[in-house]
Chain A
Amino acid sequence: MADLSAAPAALLTTADGRPLKAALARAQQQAKRRAFLLVLPLLAFIVVTFVLPIGQMLHQSIYNDKFSANMPRLVAWFESTEPGTVPDEAAYEALALDIRDAAVARTIGEVGTRVNYEYSGTRSLFTSSGRKFRSLEPPYKEAVLEAEPKWADPAIWATMRQVAPAYSTNFFLAAIDMTRNEKHEIVAVAEDRQIYVTLFKRTFFMAALITVACLILAYPVAHLLATLPLKWSNLLMILVLLPFWTSLLVRTTSWMVLLQQQGVINNTLVALGIIGDDGRISMMYNQTGTIIAMTHILLPFMILPLYSVMRPIPPSYVRAARSLGASSWTAFRRVYLPQTLPGIGAGSLLVFILAVGYYITPALVGGADGQLISNLIAFHMTNSLNWSLAAALAAILLGVVLVLYWLYDKLVGIDNLKLG
């Protein structure tokens, strides 16, 4: 201290003579480095398990090289000619040699599958050509058309031209029920094949409905939890948490037992004479089942943020409002409710985002009209193996959720979010 007061204008130094500012920066840098090293495992974990897979998925939604990697000569021909060029001898030579090579390498099925996504019923043309083209002699055009007359169809050539580049937006178009016609114009697919837009709408509508149902059910429960004496609220809390800790499959199955036509609820209603034996209510394998089961499963995600926000609100605020003449409704609306908004926001966002991507419950209790977009993503991942389309659907879902998140930030403010 004596030093400081003696030479206020001189550079401040530490005991060993280094400038204080530099020493401080150095010390801070060390602390920063240590902090960074501490979070490094988490960072690496997030990059490996989250950023990379999502990046890969987004990439896959616009990238599919099944055609371009296996048909190099034909791709080169498409690149060197204008769209709409009538295939000449060179084109047929490229086709014949590429198909022959792909058949030997056993990749002809992948090529056919890729073209089949855009033009149904062409897959077998590729595989059968693969068997026939093994011993083809020039002139190729005649030989190809003699072996498989279907190659004369200009629509097949137009489709192949479309799928020739590895990068394309076709999967995103397919994900919103659009396609390209022969002239490369974007048009809607036939009405009896439109499905994804309907399912996106249904998914968001049901997620919103489930969020509202959760809010209505959770608000009084959370209030009760927050205001009861600790002894009782702890017991109540266990009742909330117990299902939360139970496996998702077990809870979904329990709902199946309860809701099915020969299930507990229907049997009880019939036994009580409220409904007749032939008037059993269908509560499962439809939207009702999905909504009931998902509301129950997601309820704790609403209760817990609400509870954590309600707990610290002093009851004296509402009492003060009442004593100043507010009715109980006004006191709730003007004093209590605004203070719980961060909890409502957090709970709704959590439930909504979880509901949008929910898969297993709609798959089990949803039936035909309770299916959500996630079930179609799973279908394309595991059944049709059209991973690019699945990726495009998932990317759209992710995009819409991010937009909603951004809207929430604009309207409510992300700082106003309290998770616990």
Chain B
Amino acid sequence: MKKLLILSTAMTTVGFSASAAELAVMSWGGSYETSQVEAYNKPFAAEKGVVVNMLAADNPATQIKAMVEAGNVTVDVFDVELSDAVRLCDEGALEVIDHAALPAGVDGTPAADDFIDGALASECAVANIVWSTVAAFDSTKVSGADSIDDFFNLAEFPGKRGLRKGAKANLEMALMADGVPAAEVYDVLSTPEGVDRAFAKLDTIKSEVVWWEAGAQPPQLLADGEVVMSTAYNGRIFAAAVGEGKPFEIIWDGQIMDFDLFVVPKGAPNKDLAMEYIAFATDSQRLADQSKYISYGPARKSSAPLVGMYQDGKTAMAPHMPTSPEALTNALVNNFEFWADRDVELNERFNAWLAN
């Protein structure tokens, strides 16, 4: 249902254009959007006296190219994944962001050293969070699942599975469930045999899969009982479990970490304001504030000590982060170069696999 809301919101944004004192930001909707509105937009609006309009899409990156090519850019800031930021930057669809203009951390560390590795990998983007794709399950229907193998084990844990409709993350998880160590996943996936192996593993659960597209869908599918296990963005499961008291649990084994980054499209109507917004939103305190609303890790090292309690005031956030030590035992970091390069090919193969 939330997906429909997102769709209809996305449609109403067509033809929308921001005036001088407004800034349009497109992000991923749902509880993630809420966290950004609370931690970034409200303080920014209060401080600068501008209206920040938040828009939602299933994947904001897909809108950038269309807007730039059509010469009708109506959004100033997009929140995208790293591989998309790198790709769009190479294609000239993004403005270069001056990383030297980013504020130093609260402890005085210059921004270049304060951001964690990879957070400033693209000259057109600044990371705000570390998030991960994880497997999650409804603990009233499944008990004792604790590894990524269990997600693919229909015999021991019967029931429908939810997976994101696309090649990314699914192929890596399939390989990890098939026994490939996290460190070797992309080496294996670079070979044709590795790709075949990943699809063969996905074949074993294909008949039981419900495919989702928007990040808000997996908690909904779990809550509706449409699936008993689903891959999901970890923060969405956290928001449903801790925020709404749903009986969902996360399997950290085999998680795939990625960055979400702010980018500014070429021809953004309020480019300077957009740059100000990004510098403001990615300072140490703002990033730490965001973790008060959702369990995504801040992209600055100096934010880590500032991370405190969830907004309910009693849940410590640190153990729920994808970067917590317990979560990192078998974790994969998304290889953005691999996906910037192979995205088209593997998604074509994925679509063909899905249709046949």
Residues of chain A whose beta carbon lies under 8 Å from any beta carbon of chain B: 105-110, 112-113, 116-117, 120-121, 123-124, 127, 130, 192-195, 198-199, 202, 249, 253, 256, 260-262, 285, 360, 364, 367-369, 371, 376, 379, 381-387
Contact = CB atoms under 8 A, between A and B. Distances in A.
Contacts of B272: none
Contacts of B353: 192
B4 A368 contact: no
B208 to A, nearest CB: 10
Nearest to A199: B355
Chain B, interface size category, equals 35 or more
Given A195-B355, A385-B65, A249 B337 contact: no
Given A109-B91, A249-B4, A124 B344 contact: no
Q: Is the interface of A mostly helix, strand, loop or mixed?
A: helix
Nearest to B343: A384
A369 B355 contact: yes
Contact of B356 (A195, A364, A381, A383): A195
A369 B1 CA distance: 21
Contacts of A371: 354-355
Contacts of A379: 347, 351
Contacts of A253: 1, 4
A195 B349 CA distance: 9
B354 A106 contact: no
A116 B209 CA distance: 30
The 3 closest A-B CB pairs, nearest first, are A109-B90, A120-B345, A109-B91
A309 B354 CA distance: 43
Interface of B: 1, 3-4, 7-8, 59, 62-63, 65-66, 69, 87-92, 160, 166, 199, 206, 209-211, 224-226, 337, 340-345, 347-349, 351-356
A110 B65 CA distance: 11
Contact of A121 (B3, B92, B341, B356): B341
A368 B92 contact: no
Contact of B342 (A121, A198, A202, A364): A121
Nearest to A125: B341
Given A127-B340, A193-B348, 13 more contacts: A106-B92, A110-B91, A112-B90, A127-B90, A192-B349, A198-B356, A249-B7, A253-B1, A262-B224, A368-B211, A376-B351, A383-B166, A384-B347
27 contacts: A107-B91, A107-B92, A109-B88, A109-B90, A112-B90, A113-B87, A113-B91, A116-B345, A120-B342, A121-B341, A121-B342, A124-B337, A124-B340, A127-B340, A192-B199, A193-B352, A195-B355, A198-B356, A199-B355, A360-B7, A364-B3, A364-B4, A367-B211, A368-B354, A382-B66, A384-B343, A385-B65
A371 B209 CA distance: 15
B141 to A, nearest CB: 12
B89 A117 contact: no
Nearest to B355: A195
Contact of B341 (A106, A124, A198): A124
B226 A383 contact: no
A338 to B, nearest CB: 41
Contacts of B342: 120-121
Nearest to A130: B90
Nearest to A193: B352
A71 to B, nearest CB: 15
A381 B354 contact: no
A368 B209 contact: yes
Nearest to B223: A262
A105 B337 CA distance: 21
Given A105-B92, A261-B226, A198 B355 contact: yes
B355 A116 contact: no
B224 A260 contact: yes
A202 B341 CA distance: 31
Contacts of A121: 341-342, 345
Nearest to B213: A363
Given A253-B1, A285-B211, A383 B224 contact: no
A385 B211 CA distance: 21
